[in-house]
Structure 1
């Protein structure tokens, strides 16, 4: 069956199958927590808008710093399993802390310190997949990356509607933490049991031979960094969607957390078929043009949410949002890994740098937008910056990278 074609390399390869299973669990963790962090911060733990903006900045800085360090160490020592275990442990500790200390200090420590230190786990999964894919034919490799990213989105389709029903029945927002703890324990257990032993893999994973300073210089080179910053505006738009959707729906009578879960779940469900269809056009459309088109579609979705939140038409925004999201959630990742194709760990850390740039843009846009005009201005600024960044990438790639 044509629908199953993207999955065949994954189902036949134990390492890719592990990456797929971990991405499903990690996606369920993110789907359970990410849409509600802003609402938890403001409405449950009573952080101000400015305090939440500061938390986003601190968390982003720590997440990218640790991801870069872990990525470089993974390339230097080829010890990817050990790093995956460490970052999986931080995910478990950060999730469990809010259960043990259900107050503002516990929330801040978890979301500004422990959970950001776990952020490299996502990049390590794609580094593992990239290395494992080298044992497969060239034509399968790009499809593997897009398919794995689609699997990360699948839990959003299942998990968020369940939460929508639970919240409408009166379940408190803090119930997300025990569920996330269960998921993080499962992630850590699978990593410990099945992640390939360092030095005993079917693929070649040699040490980089670079010093830490040389590795940093490679990452910070102007050619690489300029493109990471341009892509950061796109990540900022995606992050702003998760921030804005919860806050805007909280202000609209009849919406609230249940509508947030339903909207995000349907969006993720629509993204999956678009992602699975992408391998059919990847060889026909250049990356820079595809990313720009995807961001333009996503900008329509993001900017339209505050304008249409109180009307039935808001649900129509999910179609351009899902089509654009399928592109901007997959193609920047593949693009960044190609920038440092010989350094899987450093290539994965570029995703963290993109996240830092995006989260910094998100935090600044949130602070400026709320100070000057409210959540509608926040969404409009984020959409505009994303389109501008995609245009900058297109301009920089007028000649081959």
Structure 2
């Protein structure tokens, strides 16, 4: 049975698909514009906004890990998902009703980062709800395509919306509607705790034991390697606007178009990837994806003034699909019966990626320029991919 057919037939997977559609619309509404709103509209200084981003990163990691462990301990995943979506809705309502510095700090520094734990919870549910014998990688890749699709659609919507002089603060309305939809969807359709068709085995681990498991060298090494691979995606988002701004033939609209094209190509590539994961090892797909993706990263500073730059979103879409979709199932197999904690590993991976990308940017701009940053990012990703192939060298191919 194809992944999309299975998603259509099973209510739990259908719920996740719809939730990821709403989550993609929510993220595309808020995150591309948060720095503009914080600095230009609300009046935060750049150093203060940087502190908000640090607070957001700490909060996201802490919430994802604690809630992931808690879900594996007690199995109350529906309540955790409702808590996450409610946090998002409250934060966005604060920005709609009381826009200001305190609301922005609470919304973007605390409440939205808490809500980001929903992503891991959705894929924990997907792991549990996918029948035995069905490729979980293919199902999760197909589910992830929903988020890319709605992200692209919302990005296009706001591109035209801002061209029609809609105020940028209106993004909180679209994000708020998406969050409200998520609350209703999870409340009405998420399987009630203990009433599902599958067994949600309790981990039996307290918090100290769960943290010790995460810190085990087998898991920690793979977390660092996957973080190095994903750092290339962080650097892409940092470099694209800076490189295009420096180009005499590019402007902000080109940035939106490029990012939108990358997101657009991810959708068919994710669906194609779902057919490969049952035949090729994840670590091999991740290594190949990294090698392809770094071509796009290297090309940004080199081809920015050329028409050939518009070929690169296809390259990024092909390479990036493995990087964005495979780590979750990789962690789930690594941690077996603890899908909530495995989902929280994505937040830890992002923290590693952010730190490596920040170091690459600081070193690259100090000793060279954006080309040097791209080269360092490429080296990090390729080293991470080679390391992952090495530690997984004895892993059997999918059957």
1:280-319 mapped onto 2 (5 Å cutoff): 280-319=275-314
Deviates most, 274-283 or 146-155: 274-283
Of 39-48 and 229-238, deviating more is 39-48
2:11 is aligned to: 14
Secondary structure of the residue that 1:280 maps to in structure 2?
Answer: helix
Paired residue for 2:25?
28
Question: What is the alpha-carbon distance in structure 2 between the residues aligned to residue 165 and residue 11 of structure 1?
Answer: 32
Instruction: Please state if 1:203 is matched with 2:182.
Output: no
Q: Secondary structure in 2 aligned to 1:342?
A: coil
User: Matches of 1:356 and 1:102 in 2, distance apart?
Assistant: 28
Q: Which residue of 1 aligns with 2:264?
A: 269
CA contact (8 A) 1:36 1:246 kept: no
Could you tell me how far apart the structure 2 residues matched to 1:110 and 1:318 are? 32
Instruction: Choose the corresponding residue for 1:213, options 186, 208, 212.
Output: 208
Contact 2:328 2:342 in 1 (8 A): no
Distance (whole Å) between structure 2 residues aligned to residue 387 and residue 58 of structure 1: 30
Q: 2: CA distance between counterparts of 1:251 and 1:42?
A: 21
**Paired position in structure 1 for 2:344:** 349
Q: In structure 2, what is the equivalent of residue 123 of structure 1?
A: 120
Find the counterpart in structure 1 of residue 227 from structure 2. Answer: 232
- Of 279, 284, 296, which aligns to 2:274? 279
Summarize deviations over 1:262-288 as a string: whole Å, max 9, x none: 222221111111111113222332222
Partner of 2:240: 245
1:82 aligned to 2:68? no
**Contact 1:53 1:366 survives alignment (8 Å):** no
Query: Does the 8 Å CA contact 1:236/1:386 hold for their aligned counterparts?
Result: yes
Structure 2 residue 108 is the aligned partner of structure 1 residue 111: yes
Counterparts in 2 of 1:277 and 1:382: CA distance versus 1, 3 Å? same
Structure 1: distance between partners of 2:47 and 2:364:
11
- Residue matched to 2:378: 383
1:239–1:254 distance in 2 versus 1, CA, 3 Å? same
- The structural deviation recorded for 1:109 is 3.3
Is the Cα contact below 8 Å between 1:163 and 1:261 reproduced in 2? no
Structure 1 residues 89 and 382: alpha-carbon distance in aligned structure 2, compared to 1, 3 A threshold:
farther
User: 2:78–2:193: 8 Å Cα contact kept in structure 1?
Assistant: yes
Given the superposition, is the C-alpha separation of residues 309 and 56 from structure 1 closer, same or farther in structure 2, using an over 3 Å criterion? farther
- 2:79 and 2:362 map into 1 onto residues whose CA distance is 38
The alignment's TM-score, normalised by the length of structure 1, stands at 0.90
Query: Which range moves more in the overlay, 348-357 or 168-177?
Result: 168-177
What pairs up with 1:64-213 in 2 under 5 angstroms? 64-133=61-130, 136-213=131-208
- Give the conservation status (yes or no) of the 8 Å contact 2:24–2:150: yes
How many equivalent residue pairs? Answer: 396
RMSD: 2.5
| 2:254 maps to which of 253, 259, 283 | 259
TM-score, normalised to structure 2's length? 0.90
